[in-house]
A and B are shown apart, each in its own frame.
Chain A
Amino acid sequence: MQLVVENLSVSYDKIRALHGISFSVEEGEIVTIIGANGAGKSTTLRAISRMVPADPGSKIEFMGQNVLKYNTDRVVSKFGISHVPEGRMIFGNLTVTENLTLAAFARKDSAAVAADMKWVFDLFTRLEERKNQLAGTLSGGEQQMLAVGRAYVSGRKIMILDEPSMGLAPLLMLDMFDALKEINRQGTTILLVEQNARLALKFAQRGYVLEHGKLILEGEADSLLDNPEVKKAYLGA
């Protein structure tokens, strides 16, 4: 297993948002965690990228190494865990190119960085057309592309994505997931968190269902799609 999460708990001001969840992701896999508002999906990803501290007793390992020993910047630069955060968090006062350049801050392989940037521009041609534009003036969909592009350039071994479909029109949403498929084909593991359960389960190979900070179901994505409980609670059928 590439990413192993065991007994992960996270508390905000003494209120527990995650109650000892465990899951794992294989190298090259696409895995999704689905759940309703406030289930703890974003918190899970933030714990992996060390944006929020995990409670004592939690364990997060990447390629057998203890992730919890490191700060966010090292998690990104040392392990290649790239996080596309909720709300995109692009730098609106920087241009598109500058956003991508900054994402490569810790990388020393400048030739490979240039190739990665080109790859991103080929994948998201709308970004290339706007590469000298301030990122804050991009549309929501374009900002989402930039957030994914940035994560790609930051040296992804695994990309963890927080609702990349949020705020996208249906067609753009499909484009986005095609792009993620392409990124996965390049060898990047994908851990995706989504409220749009149908989309996520069609896209992923395996899935977990998070409810009130606990993982209540797991399995092959297809079987979850057919699961009556999942159907009832998350697929609106």
Chain B
Amino acid sequence: MAWEPRLIVIACQWCTYQGADLAGSLRYSYPPTVHIIRVPCSGRVEPEFIAEALKKGADGVFIGGCHFGDCHYKEGNYKAIRRFKLFKRLATDLGVEPERIQLEWISGSEGKRFAEAMTEFDAKIRELGPNPLKGGANV
């Protein structure tokens, strides 16, 4: 069977998750390779979550949170971006392709942007090919 990417999207329940919902109600289509996990806030996303997804064979991990100023818990997204950037530097230095991990702020009203972002992410990962970590690294 031809390879199909598996994309994990970790979405904040107050914004990106609702953006996904809106994309659905407005019938914007986005690739079926996307698997969404809902979290209370992007500040809840630990580097371990991203690593775990990659280790278990996700071909890409996308984190979606509220725009600055809109985080329900005020500072969760500021913390999220610091952690994300530092994790990305660490992982990239160790040879993980930086394109496999992304973060973007997508609000609940940006259904269209959500669908676009997913389509772009899917295309980028198809270009990159399967995650070389699959079954390879330490478990």
Q: Do A and B come from one complex?
A: no
Q: Give the B-binding residues of A (Cβ under 8 A).
A: none
